[in-house]
């Protein structure tokens, strides 16, 4: 199997852009967050969240991820994490199953990269051969997250480790403070190292 790599970073750091760049550079890529979006459209997850939170989280018979997230973040703010733990226990095994299927389908790739926003928070870094943390200046991150639903952003931010902590745990750190060409150059160098034996820079 090719090197199996996790890509992570804080909100607004640019990890989704980095994933797109890595794909252009020849890596096989998948986003755990996008897998979750797909799972919310499945009858299995829809029925489970309706049973837990009520029919208002699935207007028109389709699970509304934002509505579920607001319920979970509200519970966190109230000091109870049982809803979040329940949701994670529902979704994470399904995400891992999808990623395993994707790995088998892309066994011939030079490098396999999974975008995992809560990589270190979930304790799943040990599943990967290497990890990449994308970080950026706080002012840049704030600019990039403007226009998003502030309550959702604040709730997700509370659950995440600091950028410094993510960087200290990662195999590779990419500072995304320049233009797209600079980001591409940094990620290209990491791909070369991964293909040569997963060396640290």
Single out the residue of 127, 111, 115, 132 nearest to residue 1, CA to CA: 111
Query: Mean pLDDT across the chain, nearest whole number?
Result: 88
Class of domain 1-27+110-201: alpha beta
H/E element, 145: helix 138-145
pLDDT digits (tens, 9 = 90+) for 80-116: 558 888 998 999 999 999 999 999 999 999 999 999 9
Question: What is the model's pLDDT at position 22?
Answer: 97
**Which regions of the chain carry the CATH code 3.40.50.300?**
1-27+110-201
pLDDT digits (tens, 9 = 90+) for 139-175: 888 887 775 554 444 545 566 789 899 999 999 999 9
DSSP class per residue in 171-185: SEEEE--S-HHHHHH
pLDDT band at 138 (very low <50, low <70, confident <90, very high): confident
Question: What is the model's pLDDT at position 152?
Answer: 47
């Amino acid at each position: 199997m090719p090197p199996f790599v996790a890509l992570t970073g804080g909100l607004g750091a640019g990890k989704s852009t980095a994933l797109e760049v890595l794909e252009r550079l020849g890596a096989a890529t998948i986003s755990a967050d996008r897998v979750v979006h797909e799972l919310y459209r499945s009858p299995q997850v829809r029925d489970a969240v309706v049973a837990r939170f009520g029919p208002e989280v699935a207007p028109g018979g389709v699970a509304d991820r934002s509505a579920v997230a607001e319920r979970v973040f509200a519970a966190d703010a109230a000091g109870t994490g049982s809803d979040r733990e329940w949701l994670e226990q529902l979704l994470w095994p399904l995400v891992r199953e999808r990623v395993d299927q994707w790995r088998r389908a892309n066994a011939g790739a030079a490098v396999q990269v999974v975008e995992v926003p809560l990589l270190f928070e979930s304790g799943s870094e040990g599943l990967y051969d290497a990890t990449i943390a994308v970080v950026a200046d706080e002012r840049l991150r704030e600019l990039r997250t403007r226009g998003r639903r502030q309550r959702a952003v604040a709730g997700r931010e509370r659950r995440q480790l600091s950028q410094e902590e993510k960087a200290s745990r990662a195999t590779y750190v990419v500072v995304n403070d320049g233009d797209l060409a600079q980001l591409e150059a940094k990620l290209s160098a990491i791909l070369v190292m991964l293909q040569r034996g997963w060396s640290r820079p």
